Structure 1
Amino acid sequence: VDQIKTITPDNMDNFGQEKDKDLITLVTCTPLGVNSHRLLVRGHRVPYTPEQKESATFWTFKKLLITGILLIFLAFVLLYVVNKSKKKKKVKNEKV
């Protein structure tokens, strides 16, 4: 991101191509709920390196793996608690 501007809807002359530049502009309404102005966020292309994608994918996979293991562990704990409470109810009902 190299530029952020807030403009009125009738002032849309900030768009246009610039020679020898690879730019993109995101346009959205602002402020939230009022939408009386336009927020322009402009950015330029950065060089792509394959190592960045591989490291990002690795961390995503690692996070998913850890989350999956934690969810399985929590499911086993929940099953244990439910079974234990059912056994207590069963024993309590047999005593009555």
Structure 2
Amino acid sequence: MTCTPYGINTQRLLVRGHRIPNADGEDKTTSDAMQLNALYIAPFIGIPICLAIVIYIFVITSSRYLKRHGDLVGKYLSQKGLKRPQMNSKNYQETINQLKIIFKDN
């Protein structure tokens, strides 16, 4: 048996042995560990995760957050001296047509 990843045989552990019968004929394993049902543990993990998701959604969609961080794209474009594109139905259709032309060439 090798102790290193498969294909790297720089170190080997040679093991040999023989099977012996159990003393009383039956193998009994005693465990000091306490087993808990998963239904008792799941709420302690699931409720905080769900609560964190709900709080995250409320924070991101709050009007205060949107006022502070909502127009990051506009701020970036104005810093770079670019105009923000206006997307009305005419511009939207022109954009779709341009994308069709671009992807048709490929």
Structure 1-normalised TM-score? 0.41
Structure with greater strand percent:
1
Structure with greater helix percent:
2
Bigger Cα Rg: 2
Structure number with the bigger relative contact order (C-alpha 8 A, sep ≥ 6) is 1
